[in-house]
Amino acid sequence: MLELKKINKSYKTGDFVQHALKDVSIEFRKNEFVAILGPSGSGKTTLLNILGGLDRYDNGDLIINNTSTKKFKAIDWDRYRNNCVGFIFQSYNLIPHISVIDNTMMGMTLSGVKEKTRRKKAEEALKKVGLLEHAHKKPNQLSGGQMQRVAIARALVNDPDIILADEPTGALDTKTSVQIMDLIKEISKDKLVIMVTHNPDLAKEYASRVIEFKDGKNVSDSNPVNKEEADHSKFKIRKTAMSFMTALKLSFNNIKTKKGRTFLTAFASSIGIIGIGLVLSLSNGFKIEVDKFEKNSLSQAPIIISTQAMNMSEENMEKMMGNSDKKLEKYTDEKKVFVQEDIKESMMHTNILTSDYIEYIKKLDKKYLSGVSYQSVTALNVINKNENGYNLVSDSSNWILLPTNPNENNEGIIDNLYDVLVGEINEDEPGLILQVDSKNQVFKSSIKALGLDGDDVSFDDIMNATLKVAINDEYYLSLGQSFIPNQDLESLYNSENSITLKVQAIVRGKKEKELMTSGSGIGYTNALTKLIVEKNKNSKIVNAQRELNYNILSSQPFDNSLDSTNNKDMILSYLGSESIPSIIYLYPKDFESKDSITTYLDDYNKDKTEENTIQYTDMASMISSLSGNIMDAITIVLIAFSSISLIVSSIMIAIITYISVLERTKEIGILRALGARGKDVKRVFNAETFIIGFASGVLGIAIAYILTIPVNIILEDLSGLANVAKLNIIHAVILVIINILLTLIGGAIPSRMASKKDPVIALRTE
């Protein structure tokens, strides 16, 4: 079943060549006890290593069940050692950090035998060598003879065809040696046992065949194989594979023997995770606080649709920030001027607001809105009265049209944004609303517009102020084909046709909405606009302007471009003719409603060319995006600094894994002798780095969570914000995964080094 044909093996050390085996040819029977005798350096152990597939011959051939091994690959030798050969070493070669039964099962584990089956067979093998009661002890809790019995049980349990014993009694006393030799002789009844020894008395007493070696050659054979005894068996072999769970178990047991070092390694490796965890917890917490603030302050910020809109595309934003056209930077030394498009022109978009679009807006589901405002450029010819006489309010064009509540049964935008200090708002009546800031301040121009004066004005004086809006037919006087304003403000003020205006209420922005309501000024109801248009739409000046093709107020020809303020439609709207609004304000009910509104607006633009689309400005999104980008930038910078420690941790893990490889070199040799592939050995050390990476990641996250407690206390004292630092569980999981990946990368090179170690050299390491 096993035959050596002219095997040669040499070792080179510099220029010196040591010939360990020289043209060795031996054939072995299927069942016999062969003793290889010879002095030290005669080639006995080299022969045993070649027979066991641990070492490779230079030339010749090793025949296994009539199959040549000349073309064997590394994986074939691994399978051969696992399935066909059982090793019994002089120094036992047990893995110290796993139990006796786990040592016994290791060969079957590599063969992929099921847990239940391999445990049963291991117990049977241990029972056979008289050690079943010691199954769960560690090897260092046994005597030398007991450890050798475990090695024999391990050699037998996978039912190999060949048992190779290298000085199996060399480290034992006489009594124990006899017990071990009796056991080996019993095994040889149904297996091929090849034992290397330098004790001729032991060989002659127990072996059925003695082969003597000298200077790398077999010089005698007491019972050579005859041609009639030839074995015609076919070579069959099973695959070997170590599962990752087995690798984890091996590594975990090894780590348990070095708890202190493992903890310090995990702690040192976790520092980067702690830093990043704290940064993310603060970033997440502040983002939550910012989101809360924005939802409270910006949830009802208007979506603005006007005739002129800003195209806030990513490309235009890059241009505005000066980040575009980087490809031209390398040409800045050339004596050329590069012409580029005007940023303002590229960002401006002219919206063509048609009656169809207005109808489309009016069909928007009102449940999403808390307010809506259709603002035109209709002039407010407002006149006030004070102690100095009558005055035309020149700044009334800056007054703000108040949004109306589209839902009669729901609270409107005004109620949501403002606290009413005095009076009552009636959207259905023409009137004014005075807004003061958080300290009840208002600009002097607003007080003067109401016909009042002084450094402080009482609510009563404001509520009693009376203003008048002159209608076109009295305000504009006809002079042939031209019209001029009536300068007799007293008659206009006292005219029965003028519209009387009173301040309905004084309001102040709610504290939680101060981002939207921090200013002050005068607002007017939509009912006033409707009334002015109703009275002026058929006035003389409006009818005359409809007929004329020049500006009736300035006598200048019209500029009918869409973005001009001197086109005919704009002037008619200014004079009070019914017209399409120039600006539409849509006030969302909340953040979720805003998304529904913008989706509805975007749907209108589908299948339309760029120039025919209607662009809008989402104030809340612009502010949120800006604050979010700033927060993200700060977070990225802080994480980048913290990540340096992660890189250092990876290097440290690589060093620790390398030390572990050096410490476990003999274990590597044992695993390879049992048939472990190079990738299985690599898997063992990858499993070790996985455990350390997982442990350091979890430890880092745990410490980061604990540190958020004092961090929150400090932040609350400094800013008044409670529980800011909040580590998102998803971030925590991602950090642990990243840490595991980095440790695996860090341990990859040492793990690969372990997988490439020569098993013969590894077994000799102490």
The domain that holds 207 is classified in CATH as 3.40.50.300
* Dist. CA 366–CA 569, nearest whole Å: 29
* Dist. CA 409–CA 739, nearest whole Å: 56
| Token digits of residue 115 | 């847990």
CA distances from 497 to 80, 391, 474, 491 (A): 113, 18, 8, 11
Q: Give pLDDT tens digits for 240-281.
A: 767 778 778 777 877 777 788 888 888 888 888 888 888 888
Q: Does residue 593 carry a pLDDT above 90?
A: no
Q: Give pLDDT tens digits for 278-292.
A: 888 888 877 777 767
Query: Which pLDDT score is estimated for 519?
Result: 79
Q: Does residue 766 carry a pLDDT above 70?
A: no
State the first-to-last Cα distance of the chain, in angstroms, to the nearest integer. Answer: 34
Sign of CA dihedral 423, 427, 431, 435: positive
Q: Is residue 245 part of a domain?
A: no
Residue type (1 letter), 716: E
pLDDT above 70 coverage of the chain, percent:
89
Q: Give pLDDT tens digits for 447-477.
A: 999 999 888 899 999 999 999 999 999 999 9
Q: Does residue 297 carry a pLDDT above 70?
A: no
β-strand pairing of 400-401 with 521-524 = parallel
* Dist. CA 122–CA 104, nearest whole Å: 6
Q: Give pLDDT tens digits for 15-31.
A: 888 899 999 999 998 88
* Dist. CA 188–CA 178, nearest whole Å: 15
Query: Which pLDDT score is estimated for 631?
Result: 67
| Token digits of residue 123 | 């117990």
- Of 352, 429, 404, 397, nearest in space to 586 by CA: 404
573 and 640 co-located in one domain: no
344 — pLDDT class (breaks 50, 70, 90): low
Q: Is residue 605 part of a domain?
A: no
Residues 6+ apart with CB under 8 A from 470: 381, 383, 486, 492, 493, 495, 498
Residues 6+ apart with CB under 8 A from 282: 711, 724, 725
With H, G, I as helix, E, B as strand and everything else as coil, classify residue 572: helix
Q: Which of 574, 589, 604 is the last residue of a domain?
A: 589
292 and 316 co-located in one domain: no
Q: Give pLDDT tens digits for 84-132.
A: 899 988 888 898 888 999 999 988 887 778 889 989 999 999 998 889 9
Q: Does residue 343 carry a pLDDT above 60?
A: no
Residues spanned by the domain of 74: 2-240
Other CB atoms within a 10 A radius of the CB of residue 380 amount to 19
Degrees, nearest 5: CA angle 156-162-168: 70
Note whether 2 and 192 are within 8 A (CB).
yes
As a whole number of Å, the CA-based R_g of the chain is 47
Query: Which pLDDT score is estimated for 487?
Result: 92
Helices (H) and strands (E) in the chain, counts: 28, 26
The pLDDT of 651-677, averaged and rounded, is: 84
139 — pLDDT class (breaks 50, 70, 90): very high
204 and 317 co-located in one domain: no
660 — pLDDT class (breaks 50, 70, 90): confident
Note whether 689 and 649 are within 8 A (CB).
no
* Dist. CA 207–CA 230, nearest whole Å: 21
Q: How far is CA 281 from the centre of its chain?
A: 14
Q: Is residue 596 part of a domain?
A: no
233 and 273 co-located in one domain: no
669 and 577 co-located in one domain: no
With H, G, I as helix, E, B as strand and everything else as coil, classify residue 86: strand
* Dist. CA 4–CA 27, nearest whole Å: 6
* Dist. CA 639–CA 704, nearest whole Å: 14
**Polymer length in residues for the chain:** 766
Q: Is residue 55 part of a domain?
A: yes
Note whether 166 and 197 are within 8 A (CB).
no
Q: Give pLDDT tens digits for 231-240.
A: 666 666 666 7
Residue 541 per-residue DSSP state? H
Q: Which of 560, 589, 618 is the last residue of a domain?
A: 589
Compare 66 and 434 and report the one with higher pLDDT: 434
The pLDDT of 673-699, averaged and rounded, is: 86
- Residue-averaged pLDDT of the chain: 84
Q: Does residue 211 carry a pLDDT above 90?
A: yes
Q: What is the largest CA-CA distance in the chain?
A: 145
- Of 42, 4, 37, nearest in space to 216 by CA: 42
Q: How far is CA 312 from the centre of its chain?
A: 28
Other CB atoms within a 10 A radius of the CB of residue 225 amount to 16
Query: Which pLDDT score is estimated for 232?
Result: 63
232 and 351 co-located in one domain: no
Which residue spans within 512-576 are E strands per DSSP?
Answer: 521-524
* Dist. CA 184–CA 26, nearest whole Å: 22
Q: How far is CA 481 from the centre of its chain?
A: 73
275 and 359 co-located in one domain: no
The pLDDT of 389-411, averaged and rounded, is: 82
Q: Is residue 371 part of a domain?
A: yes
Q: Is residue 328 part of a domain?
A: no
Return the C-alpha torsion angle 540, 546, 552, 558, nearest 10: 170
Compare 332 and 712 and report the one with higher pLDDT: 712
Query: Which pLDDT score is estimated for 22?
Result: 93
626 — pLDDT class (breaks 50, 70, 90): low
Q: Does residue 313 carry a pLDDT above 60?
A: no
Residues 6+ apart with CB under 8 A from 218: 24, 25, 26, 211, 212
Least confident of 162-166, 167-171, 597-601: 167-171
Query: Which pLDDT score is estimated for 627?
Result: 61
* Dist. CA 675–CA 641, nearest whole Å: 46
Structure-token match 């929150």, residue found: 712
485 and 383 co-located in one domain: yes
577 and 698 co-located in one domain: no
| Token digits of residue 444 | 């002097």
Q: Does residue 522 carry a pLDDT above 60?
A: yes
The pLDDT of 534-548, averaged and rounded, is: 91
- Of 286, 334, 362, nearest in space to 604 by CA: 362
Query: Which pLDDT score is estimated for 321?
Result: 52
Residue 366 per-residue DSSP state? G
Q: Is residue 330 part of a domain?
A: no
The pLDDT of 199-209, averaged and rounded, is: 89
Count of alpha carbons within 13 Å of 639, Cβ hemisphere only?
Answer: 14
| Token digits of residue 43 | 């080639």
Q: Does residue 315 carry a pLDDT above 60?
A: no
CA distances from 263 to 260, 273, 358, 697, 739 (A): 5, 15, 69, 12, 16
Structure-token match 């050690």, residue found: 131
114 and 205 co-located in one domain: yes
Query: Which pLDDT score is estimated for 495?
Result: 93
685 and 709 co-located in one domain: yes
pLDDT above 90 coverage of the chain, percent:
27
Q: Does residue 62 carry a pLDDT above 80?
A: yes
- Of 304, 308, 288, nearest in space to 296 by CA: 288
Q: How many domains would you assign to the chain? A: 3
Q: Does residue 635 carry a pLDDT above 90?
A: no
| Token digits of residue 259 | 């708890």
- Of 62, 42, 35, nearest in space to 51 by CA: 62
Query: Which pLDDT score is estimated for 703?
Result: 92
The pLDDT of 305-313, averaged and rounded, is: 72
658 and 682 co-located in one domain: yes
Q: Is residue 247 part of a domain?
A: no
The pLDDT of 470-486, averaged and rounded, is: 89
Q: Which of 589, 614, 644 is the last residue of a domain?
A: 589
β-strand pairing of 303-306 with 617-618 = antiparallel
